[in-house]
Amino acid sequence: MTRILPGIIAMAIVVVASNILVQHIIADGWLTWGAFTYPFAFLVTDVMNRVYGTAAARKVIFAGFVVGVICSLIGTQIMGEFGPLVTWRIALGSGIAFLSAQLIDVLIFSMLRQSTWWKAPLTSTLIGSAIDTALFFTIAFSVAYTWIEPGNDVSWANDPRPLFDIGPVLPYWVGLAIADYGVKLCIALLALIPFRLLVTKLSSDTA
């Protein structure tokens, strides 16, 4: 457990920071600052997977999940201008999306472990991020899941709006999902640099 403690701490920091920064909206309502911190959860998972293996990576993921649940529960009790900072739909969507995407990331990474060094982290992160984005935004904002929390009005998220205010008209939440995934794509590419450096450093330390 001691050897993966830095990974657990790093994952906790990413989850807590993302839960705080998601409250700050930027880019004319298309993104939050949390969109730029959350993708680093995949970096933490992939580094742990490469250096210590799948079992260690899953332990780090479950630790991050617990921290996320705690953050969500706290958020449901904090009232903002329009109600709780975190609705039950958002809390549920966040938890399901995080756990599903991270575990699938581990699975795909492990399947590609023997390939060129960048293929496993990049492929697993891109697929995991897509699953994370699709699950979270659908559960949290789609009218199809209103039954989860009938008292939560998500009509604002389903209003039609031109994508990034210049593109095709889509439900607002779909545009938010596209913007969010776009950030994840960019960070997945940039994260290859710290991935390589961290794996080299940690591997030499454990040799």
pLDDT in tens, 20-32: 999 999 999 999 9
Query: What is the spatial distance between Cα 74 and Cα 98, in angstroms, rounded to a whole number?
Result: 17
pLDDT in tens, 161-185: 999 999 999 999 999 999 999 999 9
Topology classification of domain 2-206: Arp2/3 complex 21 kDa subunit ARPC3 (1.10.1760)
Domain locations in the chain as residue ranges? 2-206
Instruction: Output the six-digit token pair for 83.
Output: 């109600």
Query: Alpha-carbon torsion 123, 127, 130, 135, what sign?
Result: negative
Instruction: Output the six-digit token pair for 127.
Output: 């697929």
pLDDT at 2: 79
Across 141-159, average pLDDT: 94
207 confidence band (pLDDT: 50, 70, 90)? low
Average pLDDT over the chain, rounded to an integer: 94
pLDDT in tens, 34-80: 999 999 999 999 999 999 999 999 999 999 999 999 999 898 888 77
Q: Which residues pair with 80 in a beta bridge?
A: 83
Query: What is the spatial distance between Cα 27 and Cα 200, in angstroms, rounded to a whole number?
Result: 36
C-alpha distances out from residue 87 to 35, 105, 117, Å:
18, 27, 40
pLDDT in tens, 73-121: 898 888 776 677 789 999 999 999 999 999 999 999 999 999 999 999 9
pLDDT at 82: 66
Query: What is the spatial distance between Cα 176 and Cα 11, in angstroms, rounded to a whole number?
Result: 24
Query: What is the spatial distance between Cα 45 and Cα 58, in angstroms, rounded to a whole number?
Result: 8
Determine the Cα angle at 28 with ends 27 and 34, to 5°.
Answer: 45
Q: What number of CA atoms fall less than 13 Å from residue 149's CA on the CB side?
A: 17
Query: What is the spatial distance between Cα 35 and Cα 139, in angstroms, rounded to a whole number?
Result: 17
SS3 category, 49: helix
pTM of the model: 0.94
pLDDT at 18: 96
Across 132-148, average pLDDT: 96
pLDDT in tens, 1-13: 678 999 999 999 9
